[in-house]
Copies of this chain bind each other. A is one copy, B any other.
Amino acid sequence: MKRFISYFFLNLLIGISLFAQQGVTQCGTPTGQTPFPLQSYIELADPASPSAKDWASVKGVQVSWGSTDVRYPKHAVPAVKEQKTLRLKAWRGERVNAQALVWTTEPVENLSCELTNLKDAKGNLLPDHVWDSRFVRYVMTDELNKDGKGACGYRPDHSLFDSLLVADPIDHLLKDITVPENTVQPVWIQCRIPQATVPGVYKGEVLLKEGTRLLGKLNLEIRVSDRVLPEPSDWNYHLDLWQNPFAVARYYQVPVWSDAHLEAMRPLMKMLADAGQKVITASIMHKPWNGQTEDYFETMVTWLKKADGSWSFDYTVFDRWIEFMMTQGIDREINCYSMIPWELSFQYFDQATNSLKSLRTAPGEKEYEEMWVAMLTSFSSHLREKGWFDICTIAMDERPMDVMQKTLEVIRKADPEFKVSLAGNYHDAIEKDMYDYCICIGQEFPEEVRVRRASEGKRTTYYTSCAEAYPNTFTFSDPAEAAWMSFYSAKKHLDGYLRWAYNSWPLEPLLDSRFRTWAGGDTYLVYPGARSSIRFEKLIEGIQAHEKITLLRREFQQNGNKSGLKKLEKMLSAFRLDDFPEVPAAGTVQKANALLNSF
């Protein structure tokens, strides 16, 4: 019941936010740089200052392994016990991460990071290109709502919230970086173990340098098991992070849907495909979410009301988007928003007046049915022609039950075979209609429903949004929470996870993750330039774990390994929503990962 209420307030607050949409900018301290940087950029100044007393105890340049579960503050001496050797475990085919730290009392002009070959005792080699180092960058964020109960609502005045510069972007576009005195520079090390790797312990060195001068050396050992994680494209995990192509066009300053636009999106969407994304987010009408993001979703279907009163639809943009995403490897599902947008206003090009017009109408009304039956009939025919009908869903956000039911009636009238998806509350009455059903993290699918859905090949997931304080993926969230979520999904025997914003960037996402609504980072997980983030890498860590659990469960069930199954379920039982915030995610996740790597 609590969730229902918070959902209500969420919508209310989103509604209110619209009144201040125009003219809001959110870039904090001016940096003097050109807007929308793509290659190098200057971070905003850190509102926190170094503690002279703390730094007084540091001698020159220090180097140590840190933890990927920690966002090391830029100006604070890192609270780490010096660690020169890091030992990781991995399945073949898995991506593993490590975080190296450099902190210094004297400026380092051009810090760079080199990696030596990773070799095992028998001389087997992991090729150079499977691992890399990237600099962790700092971005401005804020905090949860003052009551600590979530992060929804309108934030017209950032000064009412704490301003924090936090480690989050992972920048692969810099060869070296300047590290000022009394600051920390984390380096993100990632190794993508090839599936063909010979099991064994691979050792290598991370060399941190200033020009040719060696500042420090860290040892990395990766124990590669004989288990194999499939390629992301073969993962069972149903990942649904909603893409916003319009944000990319704006940030990259390229004409929307031009070749340059597709080129700009290519690495960003490839990165998403490599995380196991299954769903293409498609907007089939103007402003499905009433322009709640910095860059609103424009329709990918051209709606033309002809002067003779008939409707005509053109799918050039839709096709271009879907075909582009499919070539990136995201080709399992197309979710089309929305027949029941947040504002029940439907824009179309009115041929008679040669102008854009809007029709306000709601499910249950004659005009609504006339318009949508025309659209869906045409759409169905187009999708069937393209061979996409079976992977396409008419996608809804939560709406009152009678509205959703009236909408379903219209869909059925146009084509009873249309698949439907919903991200919302659990409703027994319409559950059977949902091919892809994603409920809020706090809710439950009845066990028999979940089992039946699985047997029917339907997708069953959960989502988080601004409503949850924990776990979440705000730029200030504990990084392990991003991994935690997929263990929770596994615990619930769900197919995966949904979040509404892969890249609905605020004005200057590299500098300032805050937005006019919700907490910092709520609207995006990755950065311009196809830069990853600590959150996104930890999300993938969880997805890999979910995939491992799926494989292990299947194996243990097949070979009757009850002990194994029991260990798995016991491990998963530790993922309890109610434990937040007292029990931080990192410990639970670390233990769980250790178990998965022990089989």
Q: Are B307 and A320 in contact (CB under 8 A)?
A: yes
Whether A317 and B356, one on each chain, are in contact in the complex, defined by CB atoms closer than 8 angstroms, is no
Say how far A194's CB is from chain B's closest CB, in angstroms: 39
Decide yes or no: A356 and B353 within 8 Å by CB, A304-B314, A306-B314, A307-B316 being known contacts.
no
Q: Which of A302-318 contact B (CB under 8 A)?
A: 302, 304, 306-308, 312, 314, 316-317
A298 at the B interface (CB under 8 A): yes
Cβ-defined partner of A298 (8 Å) among B298, B299, B347, B353: B353
How many monomers of this chain does the complex have?
Answer: 2
Q: Name the CB-closest residue of B to A309.
A: B258
Compute how far the CA of A230 lies from the CA of B495 in the bound complex, rounded to whole angstroms. 83
Q: How far is the CA of A353 from the CA of B312 in the complex (A)?
A: 18
How far in angstroms is the closest Cβ of chain B from A305? 10
Chain B neighbourhood of A302, CB < 8 A:
304, 349, 351, 354
- Knowing A302-B304, A307-B320, A314-B306, say if A256 contacts B356 (CB, 8 Å): no
Separation in Å of the A349 CB from the closest CB of chain B? 6
- Check if B304 sits within 8 Å of A308, measured CB to CB: no
Contacts of A299 in B (CB 8 A): 354
Do A257 and B352 form a contact, CB below 8 Å, given A302-B304, A304-B302? Answer: yes
B residues near A356, Cβ cutoff 8 Å: 354-356
Alpha-carbon gap, A110 to B286, bound state (A): 58
With the chains together, A256 CA to B312 CA distance in Å? 18
B316 near A256 (CB under 8 angstroms)? no
Q: Chain B residue with minimal CB distance to A246?
A: B353
In the assembled complex, which residues on chain B have CB atoms less than 8 Å from the CB atom of A312? 314
- A519–B82 alpha-carbon span in the complex (Å): 92
Contact assessment for B352 and A258 in the assembled complex, using a CB-CB cutoff below 8 Å: yes
Partner of A308, one of B256, B316, B351, B354: B316
Q: Which residues of B contact A257 (CB under 8 A)?
A: 307, 352
> Digit string of A313-353 for contact with B (CB within 8 Å is 1, else 0)?
01011001000000000000000000000000001010111
Is there contact, CB below 8 Å, between A349 and B349?
yes
Structural contact, B351 and A298, CB atoms closer than 8 A: no
Q: Which residues of B contact A286 (CB under 8 A)?
A: 354
In the complex, what distance in Å separates the CA atom of A317 from the CA atom of B349?
14
Check A255 for interface membership: any CB of B closer than 8 A: yes
Near B by CB (< 8 A), chain A positions 117-157 give: none
CA distance A161 to B66 in the complex (A): 87
Q: Name A's interface SS.
A: loop
Contact with B along A254-276 (1 / 0, CB 8 A): 01111000000000000000000
CB distance from A327 to the nearest CB of B (A): 16
- A378, chain B: closest CB distance, angstroms: 15
In whole Å, how far is A318's beta carbon from the nearest beta carbon of chain B?
Answer: 9
| Cross-chain contact A352 with B307 (CB below 8 angstroms) | no
CB contacts (< 8 Å) of A355 on chain B: these are 356
**Are B314's CB and A351's CB within 8 A?**
yes
242-300 of chain A: CB within 8 A of chain B: 255-258, 286, 298-299
Q: Say how far A297's CB is from chain B's closest CB, in angstroms.
A: 10
B354 contacts A298, C-beta separation under 8 Å = yes
CA distance A228 to B351 in the complex (A): 46
Q: In the docked arrangement, what's the CA distance between A364 and B18, Å? A: 46
**Smallest CB separation, A229 vs chain B (Å):** 38
User: How far is B304's CA from A306's CA once the two chains are assembled, in angstroms?
Assistant: 13
Distance from A522 Cβ to chain B, minimum over Cβ atoms (Å): 26
Contact A352 B256 (CB under 8 A): yes
The minimal Cβ–Cβ distance linking A314 to chain B, given in whole angstroms, is 7
Which of A256, A286, A304, A351 has the most B CB atoms < 10 Å from its CB? A351
A351 touches B317 (CB 8 A): yes
A518 to B389, CA, bound (A): 60
* Complex CA–CA separation, A403 to B353 (angstroms): 30
Return the chain B residue nearest A287 by Cβ.
Answer: B354
Q: Are A255 and B316 in contact (CB under 8 A)?
A: no
- Asked, given contacts A302-B304, A304-B302, A320-B308, whether A255 binds B352 with beta carbons under 8 Å apart, the answer is yes
Q: Measured between alpha carbons, how far is A499 from B320 in the docked complex, in Å?
A: 48
Complex: how many Å from CA A312 to CA B306? Answer: 14
Chain B nearest Cβ from A558, distance in angstroms: 49
Q: CA A2 – CA B160 in complex, angstroms?
A: 72
The 0/1 profile, CB within 8 Å of B marked 1, for residues 477-515 of chain A is 000000000000000000000000000000000000000
In the bound complex, do residue A351 and residue B306 qualify as a contact, i.e. CB atoms below 8 Å apart? no
Closest B residue to A349 by beta carbon equals: B349
CA distance A349 to B354 in the complex (A): 8
Known interface pairs A255-B353, A306-B314; 19 further A-B residue pairs with C-beta atoms within 8 A, sorted by A's residue number: A255-B352, A256-B352, A257-B352, A299-B354, A302-B304, A302-B349, A302-B351, A304-B314, A306-B316, A307-B317, A307-B320, A308-B316, A312-B314, A317-B351, A317-B352, A347-B354, A349-B349, A349-B354, A355-B356
Closest 4 CB pairs of A and B: A257-B352, A257-B307, A307-B317, A307-B316
Chain A residues with a Cβ under 8 A of chain B? 255-258, 286, 298-299, 302, 304, 306-308, 312, 314, 316-317, 320, 347, 349, 351-356
* 12 A-B residue pairs with CB within 8 Å: A255-B352, A256-B353, A258-B352, A286-B354, A298-B353, A299-B354, A302-B351, A302-B354, A312-B314, A314-B351, A316-B351, A356-B356
